[in-house]
Amino acid sequence: MSRIASVSTVVVHLPTRREHKWTGLTEPIGRYILTRMTDEDGRVGWGEAAALKDWGGEFGRYFGESAAIVELVVDRYLAPAVKGADPANIVELHARMDAVIKGYPYAKAAVEFAAYDLAGKRLGVPVHVLLGGCARRQVPVTHSIGLISIDEAEKEAAQVAAEGIRTIKIKIGGDPRHDVAMVRAVRNAAGPDMDICVDANEGYKTPGEAVVILREMEKYRLKYAEQPCMGIERIAEVARALDTPVMADESAWNAHDALQIAEQHAIDIVSIYTTKPGGLYRAMEVAAVCRAAGIACNVNGSIETGVGNLANIQFAAAAPAVTLSCVVPVSTPAEYLKGSIAGIYYKDDLIREPMLLVDGAIEVPFAPGMGIDVDETKVEKYRVHA
């Protein structure tokens, strides 16, 4: 058994294809931190924390990390704590990390992804096998339209529809008239068959305000409305007033949150991240609670680079509760970009080969570990200071 020899960090900044923003975002996406773990045999595993300082849970009960915070937490506390552990013993890895510092799920996820990657490489299996197996071989992609102009959104919606995307998510949560006009425009541009969901990122002030606005949008057929305002009880109130299902995102970080959501008997969908609960192992716990409660799930994230996105894909492949289309990028290095924009948010990426998009879904990679190797020359190219 080869033990963990080192964990180091590197902050990167990938250039974006266009600006991608949502309500409350104060930092550019793509400025994220990677973890590089080695074992005693010289194998390398990679992880990522797509940490944003403004991303948090309701009423301050969880709060954002950033590249600089993750760098400090990993370098000072987590790396020394996991040194000497077996990378395949994920429960011990978490116990060691939790014993040395409370909280910081993004930092812990980044270390845990690297351990899974290493363990998979050593055992010769993809990470989804370590999570229990393969519930699906394709992960349908939801293309996310951020806070851009209506003109731009119309063009983008029409193009991604032509490229095979079947679900579009629209960021809302600002001016209600503009939000409704945006949904109408995207529906017209994308056609009647496109599934459209909206994400307010807690942007509406009250459940009542959210209900009035979302009822207007329901005329354009919404698949679901994500986190219309802040609070589990308050989004449950919105859900009871609407025909459209409501999804919990900022309200749903870990398995305990999923239990509280189930107790409301109103929220139909939970958005699971691999980072919010602190890694893949705990994301599987969230998925298990949701499955027991009959709640449907998708995988959402923070537009990770390919490194973190591979963890999303491995998780989406393994968790039976994840049945919905996922807001994951189609991670593609510059050499493979051919003018497509479906699921593309960056001008380049950090993995050696692109994720394959077929009929609007990513093919799950089956190579050992996370499934696609990291391109260390790209990591160097995009390296920045935290």
The least distance separating Mg ion from the CB of residue 245, rounded to whole angstroms, comes to 14
Nearer to Mg ion, 23 or 314 (CB): 23
Stretch that binds Mg ion, among 94-102, 158-166, 198-206, 215-223 (CB under 5 A): 198-206
Distance CA 304, CA 34 (A): 11
The least distance separating Mg ion from the CB of residue 105, rounded to whole angstroms, comes to 16
The least distance separating Mg ion from the CB of residue 25, rounded to whole angstroms, comes to 11
Nearer to Mg ion, 156 or 199 (CB): 199
Closest-by-Cβ residue to Mg ion is 249
Q: Which residues contact 305 (CB under 8 A, 6 or more apart)?
A: 12, 14, 30, 32, 34, 48, 50, 331, 346, 349, 350
* Residue among 39, 199, 237, 375 that touches Mg ion (CB under 5 A): 199
DSSP state of 370: T
Which tokens sit at 386? 């935290």
Q: Measuring CA to CA, which residue among 264, 227, 278, 229 is closest to residue 249?
A: 227
The least distance separating Mg ion from the CB of residue 292, rounded to whole angstroms, comes to 23
Distance CA 360, CA 123 (A): 31
The least distance separating Mg ion from the CB of residue 201, rounded to whole angstroms, comes to 6
Nearer to Mg ion, 170 or 350 (CB): 170
Nearer to Mg ion, 112 or 249 (CB): 249
The least distance separating Mg ion from the CB of residue 177, rounded to whole angstroms, comes to 22
DSSP state of 110: H
Return the half-sphere exposure (C-beta side, CA atoms, 13 A cut-off) of residue 347. Answer: 8
Distance CA 272, CA 284 (A): 9
Q: Report if residue 202 touches Mg ion, rule: CB under 5 A.
A: no
Stretch that binds Mg ion, among 80-88, 181-189, 244-252, 329-337 (CB under 5 A): 244-252
Per-position b or e across 199-217, b if 16+ CB within 10 A of its CB = bbbbbbeebeebbebbeeb
The least distance separating Mg ion from the CB of residue 378, rounded to whole angstroms, comes to 28
Distance CA 147, CA 23 (A): 8
Nearer to Mg ion, 228 or 354 (CB): 228
Q: Segment 28-67, which members bind Mg ion (CB under 5 A)?
A: none
Nearer to Mg ion, 248 or 319 (CB): 248
Q: Report if residue 249 touches Mg ion, rule: CB under 5 A.
A: yes
Size of the site for Mg ion (CB under 5 A): 3
Nearer to Mg ion, 189 or 269 (CB): 269
Pattern 204-233, Mg ion, x by CB under 5 A: ----------------------x-------
Nearer to Mg ion, 6 or 26 (CB): 26
Residue 363 vs residues 137, 268, 310, 347, 358: alpha-carbon distances, Å: 6, 27, 11, 21, 7
The least distance separating Mg ion from the CB of residue 169, rounded to whole angstroms, comes to 8
Q: Report if residue 375 touches Mg ion, rule: CB under 5 A.
A: no
- The SS3 call for residue 55 is coil
Residue 164 vs residues 1, 75, 141, 203, 341: alpha-carbon distances, Å: 45, 42, 10, 30, 11
The least distance separating Mg ion from the CB of residue 16, rounded to whole angstroms, comes to 18
Nearer to Mg ion, 57 or 371 (CB): 57
Chain residues binding Mg ion by CB under 5 A are: 199, 226, 249
